[in-house]
Structure 1
């Protein structure tokens, strides 16, 4: 039986401080899997440079020349984590029998990849890496994440709690995944939609090896908004409910004002007027913002612009070189 070609896709943005250790740890895992006859000796670790401003790409090229299992992909600019991950998965599709995605910061336990491959050989098309606990997170991050999962569940989005983008996809799962053409790709929500046989591998998350997190609070909030608006129209329906409640409150206040006028209990003042203006104005602005979010997604989608642009592809060159060497043999 032919051994599967595994590609480990690693999005990178300004990761020069951690890249050396990432190469070391991931290369050791690949070598163990090769020795165990679990994967092909041509398997690759593809570091995807997402428009880094430091020496990340320079280092990736150096490691690709000195390590047989290391290659890279350079994007023309910064497309964000999900864009870089999508670019890597797309590039890996043609040559790979299965792919594993993992971040470069080494917070996800690389040893779980060995168990990923065991599950793959058992016939699973999707293997989710799930955090066993969130002890390394701050109180705010831990509870905000749990709240997000609960909200998504209430909205009918089938997500895997405590799972980020550490997963394995088989060839056919990746093929089906790439058929989804959303401009705003929320990968964590799309993968469960594939419906293929899946399982979970639990692991303990580590502290970031070096450097700073590329997901500050602002990006986390934007990511959450993207996830919600990509999979549900519930926020628009919520606006309808808020608008209806506000209308009913207005009717009640109107009746109250008429009654006070009849009985002569009207006291001149501006409080009720100001409250009404701010209340209605706030509802309108919130409504415009939510609708704008959806319209903005439609606007970007109908343009059908490329979701990423590849500037340099060392991965493709390495794969072709390995194919030529095999044909000579």
Structure 2
């Protein structure tokens, strides 16, 4: 893969120019964006996946759901439906996508979960509901310039920050680094515990935020328990198991499990992987399977796996949480 990226290096300037020009046309108002007179918060990244958008959306849901009617709007990546879909009791990961299905399963009593590749149309559909949302959270829409969110949260990982990266196909950036200037908040995600103030300052200097931008650092907090549809087990009591992941970067999870001195084999699939009949037959031979919550949403539909399938919950911990929360709530109020 790395060799192929180096071979494609001559294509990179073309990709850079096309994405830069597209953004410039929006910045100059030649290409039109639609803005709204109610709170729309976008969570996205410059990199191609794996920055922690899903737990960040869930953090915002938990922060806001008790005070506001919240709706999430995602593209619904790799779903088998078209157009606008509002999640309901018949929805599956195939009809609305992995992450939206996860949101719906966890928060269906509190929020609306919708998908639409056309975010403008999706927002119009949401505001036409009988109960109009007070706040709409756009999942992975930083490059969707047809919609101008009132507030942009940009995520970048500690291990591969956007300021050290290049645009596709040689690097992982979907657009040039200057796109970060559109963000109101930049969060460096998946940081190690105990990140020193000196290292935070060094990262802050490289980001070089504008006066209107705020930078935060976050870590992943893993649960001490694993969960199935029916059971909860302590992770410390596990003997051996199979770890199954279909996410962009499983390294933090693997590192955590190894730090607990647990014995496991790791079956690592690509992000949003569609498990084949052969894959499922192999998984059926395993005694205990632990996976991510996103992968759990896809795999739990298979009856043969239900009694052996568990997921490890994660949450996001943000440094200076009070300041972050106040910024979000201040935007919504004003």
TM bucket (normalised to shorter chain) is: under 0.3
Rg larger for = 1
Q: Give the structure, 1 or 2, with the largest relative contact order (CA under 8 Å, sep 6 or more).
A: 1
More strand by share: 2
More helix by share: 1
Output the TM-score relative to the length of structure 1: 0.24
Output the TM-score relative to the length of structure 2: 0.23
